[in-house]
Structure 1
Amino acid sequence: MELLFKILFYISAFIIVWGMVGYPVSLKIIGKIYKSRKLKKDYNHQPTVTVMVVAHNEEKVILDKLQNIIELDYPKEKIEFLISSDNSTDRTNEIVKKFIADHSEYNIRLYEVKARMGKTNAQNEAQKTVATEYLVMTDANSMMDKNAVKELMAAFTSDDIAYVSGRLSIVNQEASDVSNAEASYWDSDLAAREIEGRIQTITAGNGALYACRTKGYYDFNPIQCHDSAMPPLYALEGKRAIANHDAIAYEKAGEVIEDEFGRKVRMNRIILKHILPDIRILNVFKYGWFSYFYFGHRTCRYLLWISHLLLFVSSALLIRESWIYSVAFLGQTIFYLLALLRAVTKSQNKYLTLIYYYTVTIIAQWVGVYRIITGKARPFWEKAESTR
């Protein structure tokens, strides 16, 4: 049993350290080696585009979103707007219909989903009504930079590029310690995606802003989300998913921990499948850098919930065997106590907040796993009000 505990200790420690420190550092080194690889753009590439907005009970922000998308800088005769309302029961549909009537010079349509089954299903249904060459997806509470569509389309410079993700910019970073921690995490993740994309392919996008070819759209199961499902799908087909961070969407992060926790639980509603969604990913000889990227950026991070538990338990059981296990156990105990201290005192200390934020992220993974096992995972969720 002692050998088993040691194996669990070192495997768990490796997953945590590699996922959070080793992989990002290695990626920076790889990025410098491949510094000659740059994102190519062709601003003459201006195909027909449908901008799709999925909304469920978004009466607070939908009018601002509609005004935002009609101000996009893109040839008017080549752009359409499609609002897919996911069984909204508030004034969302009413607001959209009035806006369409008042702005008849724009090609705006409302698609009403009859049964609420979540964002992905709303996209699946509405996509079947699209006739343009490309689709741009964006959230109701994400305000797009006026050049966002132009930038996304400019990045489709070759037939093997199937997906382009934009950059989500957090506008309320200084509003609270929670939004600040989320913005800091997101900035580091964006840096990793930029390198992955220009070398080969990103491992995930973001729901605030991304684009794909209409003919390459795939009807995913509603429990899945395009953010995490599309890039691996295209990579395994020998295509590329890339990031163009000059295509920008602005959004608020959760300003209270309850909202951010709920968002992370929702993100983990299919975490077990994401650990290794397809065994082919392991074939580094065929998929090259993508295999390396996915293991470091996704597999390791999706295993944090179990790795932290196994590391804590194994170090506790091995504490008398070596000072290494004693230090590891003591360090973990102090770490979790500091997170608890932050939760109780509401301290504004940035280091305590980062520890607390990270711990909450791990707990959210556990909740996601629990919901999967108990059959409580759902394709829809209640939005975070502090992000509106």
Structure 2
Amino acid sequence: MEFLYKMLFYISGIIIVWAMIGYPISIKIIGKIFKNRILEKDYSHQPTVTVMVVAHNEEKVIVEKLKNITKLNYPKDKIEFLIASDNSTDNTNKYVREFITENHNIRMRLYEVKARKGKTNAQNEAHKTVTTDYLVMTDANSIMDKDSVKELMAAFTSDNIAYVSGRLSIVNQMSSDVSGAESSYWDSDLTIREIEGRIQTITAGNGAIYACRTKDYFDFDPILSHDSAMPTFFALQGRRAIANHDAIAYEKAGEVIEDEFGRKVRMNRIILKFILPDFRILNIFKYKWFSYFYIGHRTCRYLLWISHLTVFITNALLISESSIYFIAFIGQIIFYLLAMLRAFSKLDNKYITMIYYYCVTILAQWIGVYRIISGRAKPTWEKAESTR
């Protein structure tokens, strides 16, 4: 049994270290090796585009969003706007109709989803009404840079590029330690995605701003999120999902831990499926860098919840074996105590806050797993008020 404990301890430890330290370092080294691979753009590529906004009870932000998208720097005869209201019960639909009436010269329409089944279902339904060449997706609480659509379209330089993700820029990183921690994590992840996209394909996008050809759109299961499902879907077809970080959307991160925790729990509603969504990913000879990217960037991160538990338990069982295991166990205890200290106090320390934020992320994975196993995972969620 001792050999089994050691094996589980080291395998789980390697997964944790690789996910959080090893892979980010390796991808930066790979990026320098392939520094000559750059993102190509063609600004003459200006096809017809539909900007789709999915909204559920977004009366607080929907008018500002409508004003924002109608000021995008893109040929007016080639752009239209589609608001997919996911069974909104507040004034969202009313405000959209009023805006359309007051701005009759703008090609905008409202699609009302009759039964609330979540964002992906609303996109699936509304997509069937789209006649333009391309779809740009954006969230109701995201403010798009005026050149964002032009930038997204410029990145579709070949038929092999099926998906382009923009950059989500967090605007309230200084508002609280929670939003600051999320901003730090997100900035690090964006660096990784930029390199992945340049070399071959990204492993995930973001819901605030992304685009695909209308003909390439696939009706995903409503429980899934385009953020994680679309890039993998296209990569397994041998096509590319890339990032153009000059296409920018601005958004607020959760300013209180309850909002950010809820968002992370929602993100993990499909965590078990996406540890390895398709065994073909393991075929490194066919999928090349994507296999390496996915296993390092996604699989290892999606295994953090079980890896931390396994490391803790096996370390406790091995503590008498040597001073190495004793020190490792004490280190873990201190790590979790620091997170608890931050949770129950207003201690203002950047590093302790990062530890706390990381532990909250792991706990959110556990809650996601529990909801999946208990059948409570669902495609709908309540918005985080501090992000509005």
TM-score where L is the length of structure 1: 1.00
Specify the alignment match of 1:192 in structure 2. Answer: 192
Deviation at 1:250, TM superposition (A): 0.2
**CA distance in structure 2 between the aligned counterparts of 1:231 and 1:111, rounded to whole angstroms:** 26
Instruction: Give the secondary-structure state (helix, strand or coil) at the position aligned to 2:172.
Output: coil
Instruction: Give the secondary-structure state (helix, strand or coil) at the position aligned to 2:382.
Output: coil
Deviation at 1:327, TM superposition (A): 1.4
Deviation at 1:46, TM superposition (A): 0.1
**CA distance in structure 1 between the aligned counterparts of 2:357 and 2:64, rounded to whole angstroms:** 31
Deviation at 1:325, TM superposition (A): 1.3
Map 1:342-357 to 2 at 5 A: 342-357=342-357
Q: Does 1:163 align with 2:128?
A: no
The letter for the 1-side match of 2:299 is T
Specify the alignment match of 2:95 in structure 1. Answer: 95
Provide Cα deviations, 1:313-335, integer angstroms capped at 9, x if missing partner.
00000001122211111111000
**CA distance in structure 2 between the aligned counterparts of 1:248 and 1:47, rounded to whole angstroms:** 19
Structure 1 unaligned regions, length at least 5: none
Specify the alignment match of 1:74 in structure 2. Answer: 74
Instruction: Give the secondary-structure state (helix, strand or coil) at the position aligned to 1:273.
Output: coil
Map 1:245-284 to 2 at 5 A: 245-284=245-284
Specify the alignment match of 2:65 in structure 1. Answer: 65
Q: Does 1:364 align with 2:364?
A: yes
The letter for the 2-side match of 1:129 is T
Provide Cα deviations, 1:139-186, integer angstroms capped at 9, x if missing partner.
000000000000000000011000000000000000000000000000
Map 1:1-388 to 2 at 5 A: 1-388=1-388
Instruction: Give the secondary-structure state (helix, strand or coil) at the position aligned to 1:212.
Output: strand
**CA distance in structure 1 between the aligned counterparts of 2:350 and 2:368, rounded to whole angstroms:** 27
- The aligned length equals 388
Provide Cα deviations, 1:238-280, integer angstroms capped at 9, x if missing partner.
0000000000000000000000000000000000001000000
Deviation at 1:347, TM superposition (A): 1.0
**CA distance in structure 2 between the aligned counterparts of 1:346 and 1:296, rounded to whole angstroms:** 34
Provide Cα deviations, 1:302-361, integer angstroms capped at 9, x if missing partner.
000000000000000000112221111111100000000001112111111000000000
Instruction: Give the secondary-structure state (helix, strand or coil) at the position aligned to 1:185.
Output: helix
**CA distance in structure 1 between the aligned counterparts of 2:43 and 2:79, rounded to whole angstroms:** 15
Q: RMSD of aligned C-alpha atoms?
A: 0.4
**CA distance in structure 1 between the aligned counterparts of 2:162 and 2:327, rounded to whole angstroms:** 48
Structure 1 moving runs of 4+ over 4 Å: none
Instruction: Give the secondary-structure state (helix, strand or coil) at the position aligned to 1:345.
Output: coil
Instruction: Give the secondary-structure state (helix, strand or coil) at the position aligned to 2:50.
Output: strand
Instruction: Give the secondary-structure state (helix, strand or coil) at the position aligned to 1:277.
Output: coil
**CA distance in structure 1 between the aligned counterparts of 2:155 and 2:35, rounded to whole angstroms:** 18
Deviation at 1:3, TM superposition (A): 1.1
**CA distance in structure 1 between the aligned counterparts of 2:177 and 2:169, rounded to whole angstroms:** 17
Instruction: Give the secondary-structure state (helix, strand or coil) at the position aligned to 2:88.
Output: coil
Instruction: Give the secondary-structure state (helix, strand or coil) at the position aligned to 1:218.
Output: coil
TM-score where L is the length of structure 2: 1.00
**Structure 1 vs Structure 2: percent identity of aligned residues?**
77
